[in-house]
């Protein structure tokens, strides 16, 4: 099954890669300077940096991530990121983010 690429935020696109009710895999592609605004959701999120460089803000702490780096964000934790160098994040969510469908 192929899912469409949609605009998520200025300079950011989102594409669901795979999903079941229990798990979702999503690619986020960022232009340099693109932001994932601070937000929270009940889902546990794992983020893997496929390419580019990102500054993540998780629960008041900053993390600089490069290709091959990853982190897990607990549910209901405020987080967001700024893209320092254009790239792609591969995020997984459990359970599925129905709002992305």
Enter the pTM of the model.
0.95
What's the pLDDT tens digit per position in 16-44? 999 999 999 999 999 999 999 999 999 99
Does the pLDDT of residue 1 top 90, yes or no? Answer: no
Confidence (pLDDT) at 90: 98
Mean pLDDT, the chain, whole residue set: 97
Which residues have CB under 8 Å from 68's CB, separation 6+?
49
Q: Please, what are the domains in the chain?
A: 7-96 (2.60.120.10)
């Amino acid at each position: 099954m192929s899912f469409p690429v949609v605009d998520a935020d200025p300079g950011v696109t989102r594409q669901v890669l795979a999903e079941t009710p229990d798990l979702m895999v999503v690619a986020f592609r960022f232009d340099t300077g693109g932001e994932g605004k601070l937000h929270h959701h009940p889902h546990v999120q794992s983020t893997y940096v496929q390419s580019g460089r990102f500054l993540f803000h998780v629960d008041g702490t900053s993390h600089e991530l490069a290709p091959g780096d990853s982190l897990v964000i607990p549910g209901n934790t405020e987080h967001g990121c700024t893209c320092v160098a254009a790239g792609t994040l591969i995020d997984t969510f459990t359970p599925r983010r129905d709002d992305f469908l």
